[in-house]
Amino acid sequence: MYTFYNKIKQPTFPHPCVQRLLSLGSSSDVTFCADMSTKVAVVTGGNKGIGFAIVRALCKQYKGDVYLTARDVGRGQAAVESLASEGLKALFHQLDINDLNSISSSAAFFKEKYGGVDVLINNAGIAFKVADTTPFAIQAKVTLETNFFATRDMLTHFLPLIKAGGRVVNVSSFVSCRALSQCSPALQQRFRSEDITEGELVGLMERFVNEAQKGEHKEGGWPDTAYGVSKLGLTTLSMILARRLSKERPNDGILLNACCPGWVRTDMAGPKAPKSPDEGAETPVYLALLPPGATEPHGKFVSEKEVQPW
């Protein structure tokens, strides 16, 4: 468990950077200093597919630094270079959401350099192909480790860094709604409940994995889709955390939502999908760029820029 801070503490004056500047007696050498006023957007899993398209769109529209993060340094840097060839500037930072040390060191980096984060888009995720012969027990464990538990780790470490007016977007899927409808009535009631806690949700996700290991998930009231359950968990987590933000940081104007990018032509979804990655990026980017002062959507599941029933 973790708590939000009512306010990110700003450095007291004079900031070390200011002290350094004063000692120089000149403004000619300050590039090493973090500019706490510069806005920053961070996208996970940004080296290809929807994540890459999200970074591209932000580079065109966002007034601040845009970080493309990826677990593989070579692929991430190649993606940044590809954007540069289009005349777009993205910055790269290595971030593997399945590695807690990578998450914590990345959080420390953005806190030190920018004083926090203004936009966080949790896009990184995995899916087994429909025809994959990997046993369901393994698919369940691996899929939830990334799509739910690792993304939750990201939120645990980064939510306290989100600045006032910040935007958090968790890329979920329409299959989260489908999976919800296929759960037992008792499970549906808990996932839709406004009093479900993060701890209870984590317990339910662990229960699914455990029952899948034993081949008993159907008897437990779960659908036969690891990806669907992982995204069901992520969407529910988004709603829980949004309610917590409203309670613990009511005056900060932070908006947190889950969204469906649609069925997009990517390595994950295949070539038959109707949407291009750029089209898939539209809803996540829309939520990331909700204007200052906006109060909604918040704690919702959004598809095609519209709030969907849950």
- Residues serving a catalytic function are 227
Q: How far apart are CA 186 and CA 238, in angstroms?
A: 20
Q: Taking a C-beta distance cutoff of 8 angstroms, is the pair 44, 124 a contact? A: yes
CB atoms within 10 A of CB 7: 11
Identify the three-state secondary structure at position 126: coil
- List Cα–Cα distances, 90 to 58, 86, 131, 212, in angstroms: 9, 11, 36, 40
Residues 310, 301 contacting (CB under 8 angstroms): yes
Nearest to 120 by CA among 205, 44, 204: 44
Instruction: Tell me the C-alpha to C-alpha distance, in Å, between residue 274 and each of 262, 264, 270.
Output: 9, 6, 10
The Cβ of residue 116 has, within 10 Å, a number of other Cβ atoms equal to: 22
For residue 66, what are its two tokens?
């845009």
Contact, 166 vs 284, CB < 8 A? no
3-state secondary structure of 286: helix
